[in-house]
Chains A and B, each alone.
Chain A
Amino acid sequence: MTVLKQLPKGAGRGVAFVVLVLALALAFALAEPRFLTHASLSGIARHMAANGLAALGLTFVVIVRKFDLSIAGVAAFTGMSMGAVIAAGYPLWLAIVVGIMLGAAIGGLSGFAISKAGFPDIVTTIAIGSVCAGMAFLYTGGRSIFQNFFQSGITDLNDARFLGISVSLWFLLLTYGIAWLVMHRTRTGLAFYATGENPTAAHFSGIATRKFIGSAYVICAIFTVLAVLLILAESGNAETNKGANLMMPAYAGVFLGAAIMGGTSVISTFAGILLITMLLDGFSLMGVPYYYSDGVVSLILLLGVIAFSDTIRTWAGGFKLFTSKTKRTGSVSGGQA
């Protein structure tokens, strides 16, 4: 039994999720027998690693009831920065450190503007993301960076295996494990959740809410850097549009997972991102053109959110005793300016 137990009927939702995954796997396996081959599954694992890291970062921001739309811009800029460091002949670890430091600085800036200066989250992160996307062009004016990539060993992050499973997936499982422990088994996690539920009450309870909101953005940016690092490792070069495909799966993973599991948590994000990655890879294996992928993810997200929305549940499930009329504090729709 845990303090942060999201839902008393959590088990039912877990079963529903497993059934969903199995049904999806079966459907793809029937439609395209190659789906269950080792190559395909390890592809899913690798893609899940990049998407999963970005989604995990976003989870922290969503838990404090904010949004971060700078993921694509941060990924572009830090990806190019890491590429530039590698191309200049510096070792891989230095590139990673530079990337993480830049990410932390950008996340810190967003976090400061939003938590301390009271800027609206959605538009602030769009602005910062836009500046970052522009700055990604500073190094090469937009040309791809690939020098030194193979010598640096970055591609090993993609190719190396441990116990037959790619290291990127191990890394993903490790980060999710740590994040789960922190968010659901420590007082830091409780403070993150309290901040999101009601920042005023959390402040009155002696929780440094601004610190937690600010660090959520820093964490999100750092995980975005790690995600784009895996993408660079897979493709063997850095381009300004490398991070563009991180944002949608991250949002879809977090919100689809939350819809299925009945609340945002590390586990719900894992569930969401697993489903999304299976869908994306399954469709691409079936030869569905690339331009459908965002549409498919979006559609799944929308359908998921609709299917699990309170209103639909009320309509479908009939009657709820004392329908709660409480206004949500801190509207998620984002009142601007």
Chain B
Amino acid sequence: MTMIYSTNSFHKDRSRPLAARVAKVTIDLWLAATLVILTLAISSMRPQLLDVSNIAALLKTFSIMVTMVLGLTWVIAAGKIDVSFMQIAALSNMICASLAGYGWGWAILASLGVGLVVGLVNGWLVAFLRLPSLIVTISVAGICASAAAALGKGTVIRIADVGPVGWLLNTTLWGAVPVVAIPVLAVGALAWYMQERLAIGRYIYAMAQNEAAVRGVGVPVGRLTMLLFGLSGLSSAIAGVLLAANLSSGQPMIGGPYLINGLTVVLLGAMMVRIGKPNILGTMTATLFLGVLFSGAALLGLPDYQRQIIQGVLLALGLGVAAVASRHHGANKRGH
């Protein structure tokens, strides 16, 4: 017989030596370590970085950003792409602003409903009409952006009363933690649990590698794809509502910059924990990383466009690491 007989070798994690496990954790969490170093470095130059009020502001943008890209993380993890998320947020933002006067309950319901439906439509077109996800979401992004602008006839809609959502954003615990951070972290933790412990997490990553295999064992891949795009639409719509309350207005052009921001955090996040694969913990760490970096850059007086350049370079660097990592991985595979 040519094969090696061993039925119980899948208990490999138990038998791995401690040193190797420590090394693995270090590699897994290097981005978090870099975040700590970056924070220390900037705060040594600009101590204001760690002021209570700055931390509160940081955590607020962190919460909005994480909400924006939570769904996107899984869409990219499943091997698809969604470039409509930021415009769904813009549309939800405008819907929320135009309806806020009639009561926040309705405004939120309508915004999230539209976000979810648009996401599901994306998913349906990709899953059941087999259209390329980039083309579908580029078009849907254009339509959403137009609709957002049309709602305000091309201008901003002011909101008089930011309501309960404003309370979530502007009330802080101990002066440093906005209330909104708590549900966002809770949802993040739940998503992490789903991704790591539930079958759906396995399907998402398996889909990216071989969709036919997942389809072949009877997993409803089409419905799963719809669900992922739906979640992406929903989560960015929530971010749109948060933005409306945060800015006390609906801003039709708010989506644009979030495309690069969102993709950067998701792909930078893919550099940790599950190397080369977007994941929730990575996305959250990368969001905090980018938040600290930008806050530090602002404190150091760098203009806006320089931050944009830094971000693009970071994204390219992240890609470089991913490309090298995957090649290394590939080489290992070919070794057999």
Contact = CB atoms under 8 A, between A and B. Distances in A.
Interface of A: 67, 69, 113, 117-120, 122-124, 126-138, 141-142, 248, 251-252, 255, 289-299, 301-302, 305-306, 309-312, 327, 331-337
The B interface is mostly helix, strand or loop, or mixed, namely: helix
A69 B270 CA distance: 21
Nearest to B260: A130
Interface of B: 76, 79-81, 83, 125-126, 128-136, 138-143, 145-147, 149-150, 153-154, 208, 212, 252, 259-260, 263-264, 267, 270, 276-278, 303-309, 311-313, 315-316, 319-320, 322-323, 326-327
27 contacts: A113-B316, A118-B326, A123-B263, A127-B319, A129-B312, A134-B307, A136-B305, A255-B135, A289-B150, A289-B154, A293-B146, A294-B146, A295-B145, A295-B146, A295-B150, A298-B146, A299-B143, A301-B135, A302-B125, A305-B135, A309-B129, A312-B129, A331-B79, A332-B132, A334-B79, A334-B132, A335-B79
Nearest to A70: B312
Nearest to B271: A337
B212 A327 contact: yes
A124 B305 contact: no
B135 A291 contact: no
A251 B138 contact: yes
Contacts of A312: 129
A286 B276 CA distance: 50
A298 B267 contact: no
Contact of A333 (B134, B149, B303): B134
Nearest to A325: B212
B81 A122 contact: yes
Given A133-B308, A334-B81, A306 B129 contact: yes
A333 B145 contact: no
A337 B72 CA distance: 14
B153 A289 contact: yes
A291 B277 contact: no
A252 B79 CA distance: 23
A132 B278 CA distance: 25
Contacts of A290: 154
Given A118-B327, A134-B305, A306 B316 contact: no
Contacts of B126: 333
B319 A120 contact: yes
Residue of A248, A252, A292, A337 contacting most chain B CB atoms (<10 Å): A337
Contact of A291 (B83, B150, B315): B150
A112 to B, nearest CB: 12
A131 B316 contact: yes
A132 B311 CA distance: 11
Nearest to A292: B146
B309 A135 contact: yes
Contact of B319 (A69, A130, A337): A337
